[in-house]
A and B are shown apart, each in its own frame.
Chain A
Amino acid sequence: AQSVAQPEDQVNVAEGNPLTVKCTYSVSGNPYLFWYVQYPNRGLQFLLKYITGDNLVKGSYGFEAEFNKSQTSFHLKKPSALVSDSALYFCAVRDFKAAGNKLTFGGGTRVLVKP
């Protein structure tokens, strides 16, 4: 079985400050890890993914994430947050052996960036 935990329901950060959204995962094999962002009344938009290789992954809109195998974590980061980054963020994991490319999502973390 595969699972994802996002321990923070909400993260508040001032504009211009670093932003971190935490994610830990559990899979039986090698993980494929994804971050998605959801704006109000919209579907999920893909931000970045880790499949293999470099543990630091760069994605859209200046976001990056660091894969840490020993801590089974995949935290999302942005060096300088913008007000427009306020949204709902989801971490997702897939065991590379899972049929149908099925993803398991975390519960989501709401990010509020204050001016």
Chain B
Amino acid sequence: NAGVTQTPKFRVLKTGQSMTLLCAQDMNHEYMYWYRQDPGMGLRLIHYSVGEGTTAKGEVPDGYNVSRLKKQNFLLGLESAAPSQTSVYFCASSYSTGAGAGNQPQHFGDGTRLSIL
């Protein structure tokens, strides 16, 4: 059981370039999330999705776009990368349906380390 898989693991971009980070989960989870992790700031939610075809903004959405065309995949896009977007990006997923689903933990991938020069 792979859980949550993030691709790529590392990437270096130049300012202004674009790229897409891919997240795939094999647990049939409805909810998926994108976070960024910066030193001393914990994890901050960028965007999230409560189901296929739906997305919503999180705490720090500016400069990012997302898509959830398939239930198992959640894509994070940077249209024009900026040095401030240098960070470690984590994808997570969780259950949403059924009694008690709201108290289920989120499951995390191992992250994508992104540097913008």
Contacts and interface: CB of A to CB of B under 8 A. Distances in A.
Interface of A: 4, 6, 9, 32, 34, 36, 41-46, 49, 51, 90, 94, 96, 99-103, 105-108
- Give the size range of B's interface with the partner: 20 to 34
B61 interface: no
B21 to A, nearest CB: 14
A106 B42 contact: yes
Given A44-B108, A101-B104, A102-B58, A108 B48 contact: no
Interface string B87-101: 000101010100011
Contacts of A99: 50, 56
A108 B102 contact: no
B110 A108 contact: no
B102 A90 contact: no
B84 interface: no
B106 A101 contact: yes
Contacts of A42: 110-111
B98 to A, nearest CB: 13
Contacts of B105: 34, 36, 46, 49
B50 to A, nearest CB: 5
B107 A46 contact: yes
A100 B48 contact: yes
Nearest to B3: A43
B45 interface: yes
A96 B90 contact: no
Nearest to A42: B110
Contact of A49 (B40, B90, B103, B108): B103
A45, A90, A105 pick with most chain B CB within 10 angstroms:
A105
Contacts of A46: 105-107
A56 to B, nearest CB: 17
A43 B58 contact: no
